[in-house]
Amino acid sequence: MNEPLTCQRHLFPEKAVAGYLNGASRAPQLHAVAAAGRAALAWREENSGMPIPAFFEPVEALKNTFAKLLGATEVERVALIPSVSYGVATVAKNLPLARGQNIIVVEDQFPSNVYAWAEKCKKTGAELRTVPRPAAGSPASWQERVLAAIDARTATVAIANVHWADGSLFDLVGLRERTDAVGAWLVVDATQSLGALPFDLSAIRPDAVIAAGYKWLMGPYGCAYAWYGPRLDGGKPLEENWINRAGSEDFRNLLHYREEYRPLANRYSVGEHSNFLMTPMQRAGLEQVLAWDPARIQTYCAGLWATVETELLALGVSLPAQRAQHLVGLRLPAHCSGERLAQELSRRNLQVSYRGDAVRVSPNVYTTPAEMQEFLAAVTASIVR
């Protein structure tokens, strides 16, 4: 599919997307996702019981859809989880780690991809090594600093493809090559990239990919996905629920307790993941993202930035040199009043986020060039003369 995307605003409620430059916080709800939820709720109102196939078939369809987006060929490596922290904790539980080894994260990484590693290091005596963001004008990029931090004692690199605060983009293929050289794992938080940025699973070869579903994957809050590679085969899940065990589709024999799990990553799915309401909503969101195609989403968002980037740079605003187009953290010059900018954005009914010292602007296919021009006008009006 090579045709460029046009604005997809018609697929959302206008009130939800007007001036919404904050897709990295939470996606506005698609009409199709809402319709899927309403249909599921209507079915529930009319039906008390849940047929046995309904515990399994919609889940398999959802996993297949997610696997297609990820480029995964083994659907059984997909687990349905409630959050990124759940998926990261699963990996941390199964990571071999000893005193003297280290786990690498980057500065200001999202907490869900930090806390489990910090606890693991406390218990084992390993080091949690945080790679700082390079200062402006630094000769070494953030990517280069991460590569330099990896050594023979590194057990894993746990990193996001796109940094949640400022949109800094990391080269995962380069990180994979370096982790391979020292035998370390690569664990990717793809929450702020998957669904809006192409992801090449075969080239990256991660040990785990984890992503929240309510941002760029257009799903409801409380859903997430994980893909676990061969190093997690045969591991221990966070919980022991019935549906992840072999033979769980045979309700008559559930009391014949089984030691073995369903194949591969099925053991890691959260209990009650056969959610009659959320599953169809999740799938509707994923199917729309597939129809858009993340590569076309990037192209569309790049076109939005092309209308304002030159003017922003002229005002002294700095943007990450290596970045994605759907999430950009702007750093304001000293002569720009942050308080005044907040007032100007509010006056224009524009929504962004503030993450550390960055103004995070995250447009998507529902954003218009006119809204980007309004954002530029707000920044211009915040300059202190």
> How do the pLDDT tens digits run along the chain, 385 residues long?
579 999 999 999 999 999 999 999 999 999 999 999 999 999 999 988 888 888 999 999 999 999 999 999 999 999 999 999 999 999 999 999 999 999 999 999 999 999 999 999 999 999 999 999 998 778 889 999 999 999 999 999 999 999 999 899 999 999 999 999 999 999 999 999 999 999 999 999 999 999 999 999 999 999 999 999 999 999 999 999 989 998 898 888 888 899 899 999 999 999 999 999 999 999 999 999 999 999 999 999 999 999 999 999 999 999 887 889 999 999 999 999 999 999 999 999 999 999 888 999 999 999 999 999 999 999 999 998 7
Cα angle vertex 32, ends 29, 34, to 5°? Answer: 55
Give me the sheet containing 358-361, strands edge to edge. 328-330, 358-361, 353-355
Identify the helix (H) or strand (E) that includes residue 93. Answer: helix 84-94
CA terminus-to-terminus distance, the chain: 48
Q: Chain-centre distance of CA 306, in angstroms?
A: 25
Instruction: Calculate the alpha carbon distances from 247 to 77, 263, 265, 282 in Å.
Output: 18, 11, 15, 26
- Ramachandran angles phi, psi of 79, nearest 5°: -120, 145
Name which of 303, 355, 285, 314 is nearest 33 in CA terms: 285
What is the Cα–Cα distance from 123 to 101, expressed in whole angstroms? 12
Domains recognised in the chain with CATH numbers: 9-30+294-381 (3.90.1150.10), 38-290 (3.40.640.10)
pTM over 0.85: yes
> Would you say how long the chain is, in residues?
385
